[in-house]
Structure 1
Amino acid sequence: MTNEQQRLLVFAGSYAEAEENGVYVYAFDEQSGTLTLTDAVADFKNPTFLNVDADRKLLYTISETVNQSGIKVGEAAAFAIDTKEGSLRLINRKETVASTTCHIQRDANSRYLTVTSYHGGMIGLFGITEEGAIGQELDVKQHVGSSQHPERQDRPHPHSSFYSPDGRYLFVSDLGLDRIVTYRLDEADHKLIHHAEISLHPGAGPRHLSFHPNGKFVYVINEVDSTITSFTYDQETGQLTTLATVSTLPADFKDENSCAEITVSSDGKYVYGSNRGHDSIVVFAIDERTGALSLVQHISVEGGHPRHFALTPNGNYLLAANRDTNNIVTFKVNKSSGQLAFTGNSVSLSKPVCVIPVYLTM
């Protein structure tokens, strides 16, 4: 925290028709754990996933549009954030890749955006202008192949992209291929260079990943078979090595479930994952020497289908976005045990998919 006055704002993306509100801004009260709506933006179809550049007070979102041939394609938009008002102002919007997208990521130096197309099986690299606008298309990488599950894995389905802590590598979890594909970011030619890939067990369906703050471990949540796989990470070579896989579910739970989001606490002690079906957050303690996980808790998300969740920057709260019950629910984090407790607070909005709490200077 600096001497400058800061405000904790929470940004949410959702499934929405273009005429409906789709991107929301909330002020977060850290004493009570309550959310207060300060702005909502319409005119974008399914602005589901967001990325926030706190330093430059910029927000990026994906959405869907139709190209000149009438085909559904990806779109991205950039907004300026007014911290005091808790409001958004559109900078620009631009078509991205030749299919709808599910994820957007920004490199640490805020020079590039990557968009991920689950249905199109591709990753797109785009520039960011000096003003923070969506810039030109620089590269597109098309995945090929399939894996075990006849419906979910009949073709490539990349679901996310995450940069290594030093920004040299981009890790793409491909649910359809049961692989994590690693690209090297060539900043001279502004291209993604295929660097490596690692296979998970068949039928895993990797979706999102999270780096341990020590940079030595990576945790991937597998959507299809409700597991988390841990890896060691070699920062020099950019290589992942598989450690172990654990279930995200209680042993006696036999109904349908799929996983969505994963994050490691900023102190590196705990990893959190979301279950859709069991409708819970699972908490594991991390052995910081070996990276091994041990179960701490399953807690109800007080709703249905937790598509995404996030810890506040200071780690005091966790916010869960429940798509099917149209709410974002607030949990208090016990930082010594890692356990979550429902605060009794939630806010209603239509089909939330992504929630991002960020400190911004006033």
Structure 2
Amino acid sequence: MARQALDSSLAGGWSASSWLGLSGNESRLTFLCGLFITQLLLSEYGHRMTDHAGIYIATRHTAHLTRLVPRIHPTTIKRFTMRKVLLLAAAVGCSFGLPVQAATFAYISSPADGLISQYRLDEQSGALSLVEQTKAGDQVNPMAISPDGKALFAALRSKPYQVLSFSIEPATGHLKPLSQAPLAESLAYLSTDRSGRFLFGASYGADLLSVQPIDAQHRPSDSIETYKTGMHAHSVRTDPSNRFVYAGNLGVDRVLQYRLEPKDGKLVPIGEGFVAVPDNTGPRHLAFSSDGRFLYVVGEMSGTVTAFLINEKTGALKQVSQADGIPARLKLAPGQARDARNNDLKDDPTPRIWAADIRLAPDGKLLFISERTTSSVSVFKVDPAKGNVTFVENYPVEEKQPRNIAVSPNGRWLLVSGEKSDKVGSYAIGASGALKRVSEAPSGKGALWIEMLSQPDK
């Protein structure tokens, strides 16, 4: 009967879905569920409902449906037309079936023009639109969003090296300058601890990690603690428990491991202070499983993903899996460590592996890495229980030299920025990880870093 009612309404030229601004299978399912619920209500109480009661149901939140009976008029009998039933069904369906709307924003830094571009992502369609661009400063590069989603930090890689902080306006995502503070060196990576009290940095050129406090107003301190590393530190992040800190030390093929002192942010080496990976791996960026049991590391020079089990008590790493993400058909030679003076290896025409970023889907079952030489993204399947990674496929992307990628909060879309592209792309993620480009938006020059944030849409 519900299906007949829906077909009848659509045949008559009226659509509850379009009237409510809904579309696709989700709206149809929501509508049918709502219609079914409404029919149950009408069969029980319909002969005693007034228009007043109907309007009440259609406009109040689901939580208030328990007040339905007191609103039923005991003496007035009024029949509901099919149109009223359909309107009521749509309203109830929306109340039961639709999630709270959220605004999803992406922030992308572009060093060549000193801009941070803000985008809005439609998490239902994958459509990406440029909202505004904020002038940050020359060579703005790595960024981090505070754990509470209220501030964005951006590092400048031109002298004098500084970190800028911006407040993020709720609902609109607008950036408003807050403060600036010195940095120890030019940073290739920026992150905060999970409490938002400490700012971490990794310097590729100066071979060091840095830690500086962040106050309650999201302003980094001038006080900086530094830790010497091997050649080319490339990333630094805290684990989900906020007890341990790990860093990719590309030039010496090590993943550094520390215990975080919560009082002052000091880093204490775990064991020898590192675990080694095979020569010429080039451990670069890191990703954690949501439960904090596993750490995944992309090798810039090998194109591999290495999975480590994190000891729950000590934080010590133990390798459990490794998978190659570069298929033979790409015909790439092993990569080399690069420096700013020869980043593109202009004196070496050999196409070489040049992997960059790594991102894990929210459900922990798919993992993505970017490869710059071939402008592609490799997809891996992950066993969340054991941490094992398995290569699935490599997909070309339109963004040339993709330095950074990001997965949307709902896990349905992958954003890709290209250092040599004037656009940023949005790709639909299939059930097996297959990528299909669905949208694009203009980017700044030399687009690099991507940070994403989802906020209630007020």
Q: Which residue of 2 aligns with 1:78?
A: 165
> Shift of the alpha carbon at 1:3?
8.5
Q: Which residue of 1 aligns with 2:327?
A: 250
Q: Which residue of 2 aligns with 1:112?
A: 198
8 Å CA contact 1:38–1:85 kept in 2: the answer is: no
8 Å CA contact 2:114–2:140 kept in 1: the answer is: no
- Letter aligned with residue 119 of structure 1: G
Q: What secondary structure is seen at the aligned counterpart in 2 of 1:353?
A: coil
Q: Which residue of 1 aligns with 2:434?
A: 339
Q: Which residue of 1 aligns with 2:73?
A: none
- Letter aligned with residue 39 of structure 1: E
Q: Structure 1 residues 140 and 252 mapped into 2: Cα distance closer, same or farther (>3 Å)? A: same
C-alpha separation in 1, matches of 2:406 and 2:264: 34
Count of equivalent residues: 339
- Letter aligned with residue 323 of structure 2: V
C-alpha separation in 2, matches of 1:190 and 1:215: 20
Q: Structure 1 residues 47 and 187 mapped into 2: Cα distance closer, same or farther (>3 Å)? A: same
Point out the structure with max Rg over C-alpha: 2
8 Å CA contact 1:311–1:317 kept in 2: the answer is: yes
Q: Gaps (5+ residues) in structure 2?
A: 1-97, 332-350
C-alpha separation in 1, matches of 2:371 and 2:102: 33
Q: Structure 1 residues 310 and 83 mapped into 2: Cα distance closer, same or farther (>3 Å)? A: same
- Letter aligned with residue 133 of structure 1: R
8 Å CA contact 1:57–1:81 kept in 2: the answer is: yes
Q: Which residue of 2 aligns with 1:194?
A: 269
Q: Which residue of 2 aligns with 1:309?
A: 405
- Letter aligned with residue 177 of structure 2: L
Q: What secondary structure is seen at the aligned counterpart in 1 of 2:221?
A: strand
- Letter aligned with residue 310 of structure 1: A
Q: Which residue of 2 aligns with 1:152?
A: none
> Identity over aligned residues, as a percent?
25
Q: What secondary structure is seen at the aligned counterpart in 2 of 1:314?
A: coil
8 Å CA contact 1:328–1:349 kept in 2: the answer is: no
- Letter aligned with residue 220 of structure 1: V
C-alpha separation in 1, matches of 2:178 and 2:115: 17
Q: What secondary structure is seen at the aligned counterpart in 2 of 1:352?
A: coil
Cα deviation digits, residues 268-291 of structure 1 (max 9, x gap): 111111111121111111123432
Q: Which residue of 1 aligns with 2:145?
A: 52
> Shift of the alpha carbon at 1:31?
3.5
1:172 paired with 2:259, answer no
8 Å CA contact 1:248–1:275 kept in 2: the answer is: no
- Name which of 292, 303, 306 aligns with 1:229: 306
Cα deviation digits, residues 155-192 of structure 1 (max 9, x gap): x1010111111001110100011111112111234322
Cα deviation digits, residues 242-287 of structure 1 (max 9, x gap): 2233221112222322101111211111111111112111111112
Q: Which residue of 2 aligns with 1:94?
A: 181
8 Å CA contact 1:55–1:360 kept in 2: the answer is: no
> Shift of the alpha carbon at 1:93?
0.8
Q: Structure 1 residues 92 and 232 mapped into 2: Cα distance closer, same or farther (>3 Å)? A: same
C-alpha separation in 2, matches of 1:84 and 1:285: 34
1:125 paired with 2:221, answer no
Q: Gaps (5+ residues) in structure 1?
A: 68-73, 145-155
Q: Which residue of 1 aligns with 2:362?
A: 266
Q: What secondary structure is seen at the aligned counterpart in 2 of 1:166?
A: coil
Q: Structure 1 residues 5 and 265 mapped into 2: Cα distance closer, same or farther (>3 Å)? A: closer
C-alpha separation in 2, matches of 1:56 and 1:211: 19
C-alpha separation in 1, matches of 2:240 and 2:147: 17
**Higher normalized helix content (fraction of residues):** 2
Q: Structure 1 residues 250 and 9 mapped into 2: Cα distance closer, same or farther (>3 Å)? A: same
Q: Structure 1 residues 83 and 225 mapped into 2: Cα distance closer, same or farther (>3 Å)? A: same
**Higher normalized strand content (fraction of residues):** 1
Q: Structure 1 residues 237 and 278 mapped into 2: Cα distance closer, same or farther (>3 Å)? A: same
- Name which of 354, 358, 377 aligns with 1:281: 377
C-alpha separation in 2, matches of 1:244 and 1:4: 38
8 Å CA contact 1:23–1:40 kept in 2: the answer is: yes
Runs of 4+ residues deviating >6 angstroms: none
Q: Structure 1 residues 110 and 5 mapped into 2: Cα distance closer, same or farther (>3 Å)? A: same
> Shift of the alpha carbon at 1:230?
1.6
8 Å CA contact 1:57–1:360 kept in 2: the answer is: no
Q: What secondary structure is seen at the aligned counterpart in 2 of 1:252?
A: helix
8 Å CA contact 1:120–1:157 kept in 2: the answer is: yes
- Letter aligned with residue 274 of structure 1: S
8 Å CA contact 1:303–1:322 kept in 2: the answer is: yes
